[in-house]
Structure 1
């Protein structure tokens, strides 16, 4: 399974980071998680492309995670692709219906399916098995853990976890425990008074004692610029002893599935 980090940025753009988006590929399966502004350009630079993405899984409905959803529909229509499924928390259908009310000329251009999911049971999206966990954010938001069906691994034990937007807390650390790769919101450096997102020290404290091999810090606001090394050190000093990296747009990570 390969993870391509398309967008590591936030609602406050910087040139080198577009908004939230992550691409999962495994053999002939592809899944786009979140679809913020700029993600289509990043996706167009991958081998998969927007033509190869027929399922989008949303963590939540904030604009920096859904802004390119209608552009994706239009791009797939113009490219001759006929289908797109949008999967996400409750309210996803209302979100898509509202966007189509605004952009009515796109309604009916492709076969569009919408499915709402919950943490109550695991599900499949884009050919991947997925477990969900509600996070602590300013609106309903899910973290997701993934495994490809061919691996035979329960998604609750899958090798990849994406946190969505969230504060750091023990329940999410437990959900991610055992992941080979955890991509976690780390929006601001220490010293910033913030809610709904963690600082590096808060994140390191929450993950202390977990068996997460690699932690990628993402969803980075402009405040983090120039302080990346400090943030990594803060996570480690707070108690997390796995590998810590600041994610960059375009980063590709091979994740073992056996």
Structure 2
């Protein structure tokens, strides 16, 4: 499996970070997780391209995670692709219907399927087996843990976990325990008073004792600029003993 960071930024744009988006690939399987502004340009620079992504999985419905959803639909239509599936939490169908109400000329251009999922049982998306759990954020949403289809690997023990937007809490650490890679929201440095997102110290404290190979800090607001090394050190000082890296657009990690 390979994860490519397409967008490591937030709702406040900076030149070198697109909004939220991650490409998960394994052989001929590919899955786009979130689709914020700027993600399509990053996706166009990958071997997969937007032509090769027929499934989008949404963590939640904030604008910086869905802004390029209809542009993706239009790009696939113009490229001659015939299908797009959008998967996400409850309310995803209403979101897509509302976007198409505004941009009604796109309705019916391609075969569009919308599927809402829950935490009740694992599901498939883009050829991957996915487990979900609720996050703690200002909008309901899910974190996801990904496995390639395999009869001998339980879906709950997949190698990649992606938190979406969430506070740091023990339930998320349990959800990610044993993962090779955890991509986690770490939006602000410690000296910013914030709710609904973690700071490095709160994230490190929550992950103390968790068995995670690499923690990738992402969803970075402009406040983090120039302080990335400091933030990684604070996570380690707070108790996380795995590898800590800071996401950058274009970063590719093989698992």
Same fold (TM over 0.5): yes
SS of residue in 2 equivalent to 1:183: strand
In structure 1, runs of 5+ residues without a counterpart are none
**CA distance, structure 2, for counterparts of residue 162 and residue 141 of structure 1:** 12
SS at match of 2:196: coil
Relative to the length of structure 1, the TM-score reads 0.98
Partner of residue 176, structure 1: 176
- Classify 1:205/1:211 alpha carbon distance in 2 versus 1 (closer, same or farther; 3 Å): same
Return the offset for 1:6.
0.4
- Secondary structure at the aligned position of 1:156 is classed as helix
Say which SS state the counterpart of residue 60 (structure 2) adopts. coil
Match of 1:142 in 2: 142
Give aligned pairs, total: 255
Q: What's the counterpart of residue 120 of structure 1?
A: 120
Please give the alpha-carbon distance, in whole angstroms, between the structure 2 residues aligned to 1:128 and 1:229. 33
What is the Cα deviation at residue 152 of structure 1?
3.4
The alpha carbon displacement at 1:150 in A equals 3.7
SS class of match (2:46): coil
Aligned residue runs from structure 1 range 76-155, under 5 A: 76-150=76-150, 152-155=152-155
d(CA) in 1 for partners of 2:126 and 2:80? 19
Residue 64 of structure 1 pairs with residue 64 of structure 2: yes
Aligned-partner Cα distance in 1 for 2:7–2:223 = 17
Can you list the C-alpha shifts for 1:107-129, whole angstroms capped at 9, x where unaligned? 00000000000111110000000
Structure 1 240/113 Cα, relative in aligned 2: closer, same or farther at 3 Å? same
* Rounded Cα–Cα distance in structure 1 between residues aligned with 2:108 and 2:153: 37
Q: Cα deviation per residue 1:20-55 (whole Å; 9 max; x = unaligned)?
A: 000000011000000000000000000000000000
| Counterpart position of 1:3 | 3
Q: Could you say which residue in structure 2 is the equivalent of 1:234?
A: 234
Query: Residue deviations 1:93-148, cap 9 Å, x none?
Result: 00000000000000000000000001111100000000000000001110000000
Give runs of ≥4 in structure 1 deviating > 2 Å: none
Instruction: Point out where structure 2 has 5 or more consecutive residues left out of the alignment.
Output: none
Q: Secondary structure at the match of 1:97?
A: helix
What SS class does the counterpart of residue 112 from structure 1 fall into?
A: strand
- CA drift of 1:151 comes to 6.7
- Report the aligned-residue RMSD: 0.6
